[in-house]
């Protein structure tokens, strides 16, 4: 065994967990840890705000499938991580947050830069730890990474008092971990799987409703094999986008509040709903008592707490969706649902997503996203902020694989997209990473332009600039009588000059004809580029379902 101080042990733990990069921002309570980072040369990305660091770690985790790691100091440093931790928690992203804490004798005394971060984050972490002695460090880190990256994945926080970092002790890293009461179920119950196979055999109008759990478990190939073998059409949630290719013949698009006509009507008329790695979020279901009202429901999920939380299934299956789908593939047989598939294909053909871009009219945001697709060959990693641009990206990004569409789903965090793009670019330096942002949400973490420039990260930022908080404005138009209360973004900066002030390249696009050349120029530049696309402020995201109504009561669902 080797004798190390606490900070050295932390780095040794990260090395044992094969952590190749951390994101963070130093401060007084983590100076000893940062001194060891300096000595050891750990790859560290210094962001310009702790929220930027945690979102970057989140983006890294989503595209790589490995836990993201973020470090912050005590007090305000730790509390600045809260929104990012909650974002990761809602979307089941593996994340380990390491926060400094005041020395143990001062805990609970309202010492300088003290905050009870374990208490604050208790509802938004899978688990958190306050390290009380140096002997606890190896086991704490082993448990933290295990919990974050197993079962339903999620964030774990380790709070590390300042004096523990300087203590010395003998270091030995555990080879395995066994946590009392933590036993995720991976293998599905064979009796329930048999019931599901029987229900599939009897169904005349089945639909697969797939979510982020499919991406998280790496079950996209199994999902495709299952759909191909059974000929059952597929719809995917926002966090499940990419789990089937966008051009897959049986893919119906995204369902819910801004879902496609085909997806929403298929959910409404199906007689069997196969829910795979989803949690029946309200943005998908609409009014609960009208959702899939004719359907028997199979629900497959690794988290037993999600089974029956919003919708009570007839056939619940707790387990890893990858393993459960493998067992179902062995047992299911092709069914004759030709008439059903013809019907849903007719919906796709008759009511596609559409927009009207005239050459001499204002630039439409949908065109911007389609041009990025075309000019990147459908291979780019897209990240988004939250709002109208997020839904347009979800509709028009043509995805060939999972982990290529990174967006805050459950929490809907404005300011997420740009730092998440930085994390994605760090994970895959050779990939094209495009951040689709709104003019409102981009300003929440625009300081991370400095991070992108300093590390020469070639992120391409597309600001869909409609001079307003677009989704807020849309709701005010449809549901608040056109009373646009504080949704104007008048007074925003000149984004091109802002980019140039940080040392990035800035471009501006005013007309439809300028979009493609600007994107081509941006893609040819080896560093970060910001393009300010000034789009039609009157454009709305359609279709749209009003709150507390059925998902087939669609504004603009049948053509617009």
Q: What percent of the chain has pLDDT over 70?
A: 99
pLDDT at 227 over 50: yes
Calculate the alpha carbon distances from 25 to 18, 46, 113, 314, 542 in Å.
21, 6, 15, 49, 40
* C-alpha to C-alpha distance for 407 and 548, rounded to whole angstroms: 24
* C-alpha to C-alpha distance for 470 and 391, rounded to whole angstroms: 11
Q: In sequence order, what are the residues at sequence separation of 6 or more whose Cβ sits closer than 8 angstroms to the Cβ of residue 515?
A: 363, 367, 368, 371, 509, 533
* C-alpha to C-alpha distance for 387 and 406, rounded to whole angstroms: 14
**Residue 334: its pLDDT value, please?**
87
Segment 174-198 shows an average pLDDT of: 96
- Arithmetic mean of pLDDT over the chain: 97
Cα within 13 Å of Cα(270), Cβ side = 28
Segment 167-178 shows an average pLDDT of: 95
Query: Which pLDDT band holds residue 275 (cuts at 50, 70, 90)?
Result: very high
Of the listed ranges 166-170, 227-231, 236-240, 556-560, the least confidently predicted one is: 556-560
Bond from prior residue into 543 cis (ω within 30 degrees of 0)? yes
Q: Given CA atoms 313, 314, 318, 319 in this order, what sign does their dihedral have?
A: negative
Positions annotated as catalytic residues are 50, 112-113, 162, 471
Segment 515-531 shows an average pLDDT of: 98
Strands, E assignment, 195-346: 206-210, 234-236, 272-276, 296-301, 315-318
pLDDT at 171 over 90: yes
pLDDT at 558 over 90: no
CATH of domain 365-538: 3.40.50.970
Segment 418-444 shows an average pLDDT of: 98
The model's pLDDT over 111-135, given as tens digits with 9 standing for 90+, comes to: 999 999 999 999 999 999 999 999 9
Could you tell me the two tokens for 439? 């003019």
Could you tell me the two tokens for 435? 């951040």
Neighbours of 110 (CB within 10 A): 8
**Residue 531: its pLDDT value, please?**
98
pLDDT at 541 over 50: yes
**Where in the chain is CATH 3.40.50.1220?**
190-350
* C-alpha to C-alpha distance for 309 and 307, rounded to whole angstroms: 6
Segment 356-383 shows an average pLDDT of: 95
Query: 3-state DSSP call for residue 502?
Result: helix
Contact of 165 with 134, CB cutoff 8 Å: no
Q: Evaluate whether the domain defined by 2-171 bears CATH number 3.40.50.970.
A: yes
Calculate the alpha carbon distances from 177 to 70, 140, 389, 494 in Å.
22, 10, 43, 53
Write the DSSP symbol of residue 535.
B
pLDDT at 155 over 90: yes
* C-alpha to C-alpha distance for 551 and 279, rounded to whole angstroms: 17
* C-alpha to C-alpha distance for 433 and 406, rounded to whole angstroms: 10
**Residue 559: its pLDDT value, please?**
55
Query: 3-state DSSP call for residue 251?
Result: strand
Query: 3-state DSSP call for residue 490?
Result: coil
Segment 272-282 shows an average pLDDT of: 97
**Where in the chain is CATH 3.40.50.970?**
2-171, 365-538
CA end-to-end span of the chain, whole Å? 70
Q: pTM score, two decimals?
A: 0.97
By CB atoms closer than 10 A (0-12, 13-18, 19+), residue 139 is middle
Position of tokens 């086991």?
A: 139
pLDDT at 370 over 90: yes
pLDDT at 560 over 50: no
**Residue 378: its pLDDT value, please?**
86
Could you tell me the two tokens for 423? 């994390």
Query: 3-state DSSP call for residue 27?
Result: coil
**Residue 2: its pLDDT value, please?**
83
- Pick from 234, 247, 230, 228: nearest CA to 208: 234
Q: For domain 190-350, which CATH number applies: 1.10.287.130, 3.90.420.10, 3.40.50.1220, 3.40.50.2300? A: 3.40.50.1220
Residue 296: φ, ψ to 5°: -75, 145
Q: In sequence order, what are the residues at sequence separation of 6 or more whose Cβ sits closer than 8 angstroms to the Cβ of residue 151?
A: 182, 184, 302, 303
pLDDT at 537 over 60: yes
Segment 399-428 shows an average pLDDT of: 98
The model's pLDDT over 52-86, given as tens digits with 9 standing for 90+, comes to: 999 999 999 999 999 999 999 999 999 999 999 99
Write the DSSP symbol of residue 148.
H
Segment 184-197 shows an average pLDDT of: 98
pLDDT at 295 over 50: yes
Segment 204-208 shows an average pLDDT of: 98
Contact of 91 with 74, CB cutoff 8 Å: no
Query: 3-state DSSP call for residue 23?
Result: strand
- Transcribe 61-129 into DSSP letters: HHHHSSPEEEEE-STHHHHTTHHHHHHHHHTT--EEEEEEE--GGGTTTT-TT---HHHHHGGGSSEEE
Calculate the alpha carbon distances from 245 to 242, 364, 401, 418, 421 in Å.
6, 25, 6, 24, 21
Q: Give all strands of the β-sheet with 460-465 in edge-to-edge order.
A: 405-406, 381-384, 433-438, 460-465, 529-534, 505-509
């Amino acid at each position: 065994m080797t004798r190390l101080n606490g900070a050295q042990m932390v780095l040794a733990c990260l090395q044992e967990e094969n952590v190749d990069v951390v994101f963070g921002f130093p401060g007084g309570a983590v100076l000893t840890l940062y001194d060891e980072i300096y000595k050891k040369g750990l790859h560290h990305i210094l962001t310009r705000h702790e929220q930027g660091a945690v979102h970057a770690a989140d983006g890294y985790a989503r595209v790589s499938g490995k836990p993201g790691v973020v470090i912050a100091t005590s007090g305000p440093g730790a509390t600045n991580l809260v929104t990012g931790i909650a974002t990761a928690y809602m979307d089941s992203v593996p994340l380990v947050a390491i926060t400094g804490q005041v020395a143990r004798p001062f805990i609970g005394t309202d010492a300088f830069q003290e905050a009870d971060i374990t208490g604050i984050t208790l509802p938004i972490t899978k688990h958190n730890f306050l390290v009380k002695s140096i002997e606890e460090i190896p086991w704490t880190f082993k448990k933290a990474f295990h919990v974050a990256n197993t079962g339903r994945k999620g964030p774990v926080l380790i709070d590390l008092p300042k004096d523990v970092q300087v203590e010395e002790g003998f270091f030995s890293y555990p080879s395995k971990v066994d946590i009392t009461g933590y036993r995720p179920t991976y293998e599905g119950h064979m009796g329930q799987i048999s019931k599901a196979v029987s229900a599939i055999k009897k169904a005349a109008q089945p639909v697969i409703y797939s979510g982020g759990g499919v991406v998280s478990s790496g079950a996209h190939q199994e999902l495709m094999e299952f759909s191909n073998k059974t000929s059952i059409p597929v719809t995917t949630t926002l966090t499940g986008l990419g789990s089937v290719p966008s051009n897959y013949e049986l893919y119906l698009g995204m369902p819910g509040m801004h879902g496609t006509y085909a997806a929403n009507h298929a959910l409404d008329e199906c007689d069997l709903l196969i829910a795979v790695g989803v949690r029946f979020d309200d943005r998908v279901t609409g009014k609960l008592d009208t959702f899939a009202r004719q359907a028997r429901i199979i629900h497959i999920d690794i988290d037993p707490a999600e089974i029956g939380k919003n919708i009570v299934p007839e056939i619940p299956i707790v387990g890893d969706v990858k393993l459960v789908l493998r067992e179902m593939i062995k047992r299911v047989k092709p069914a004759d649902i030709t008439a059903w598939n013809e019907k849903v294909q007719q919906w796709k053909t008759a009511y596609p997503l559409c927009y009207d871009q005239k050459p001499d009219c204002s630039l439409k945001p949908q065109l911007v996203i389609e041009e990025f697709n075309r000019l990147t060959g459908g291979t780019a990693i897209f990240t988004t902020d939250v709002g109208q641009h997020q839904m347009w990206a979800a509709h028009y990004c043509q995805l060939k694989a999972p982990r290529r569409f990174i967006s805050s789903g459950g929490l809907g965090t404005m300011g997420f997209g740009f730092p998440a793009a930085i994390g994605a670019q760090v994970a895959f330096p050779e990939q094209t990473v495009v951040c689709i942002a709104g003019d409102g949400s981009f300003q929440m973490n625009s300081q991370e332009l400095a991070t992108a420039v300093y590390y020469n990260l070639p992120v391409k930022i597309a600001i869909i600039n409609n001079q307003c908080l677009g989704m807020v404005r849309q709701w005010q138009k449809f549901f608040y009588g056109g009373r646009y209360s504080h949704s104007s973004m008048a007074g925003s900066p000149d984004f091109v000059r802002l980019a140039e002030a940080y040392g990035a390249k800035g471009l501006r696009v005013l007309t439809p004809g300028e979009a493609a050349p600007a994107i081509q120029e941006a893609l040819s530049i080896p560093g970060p580029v910001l393009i300010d696309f000034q789009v039609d402020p009157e454009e709305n995201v359609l279709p749209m379902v009003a709150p507390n109504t059925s998902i087939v009561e669609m504004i603009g669902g049948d053509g617009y």
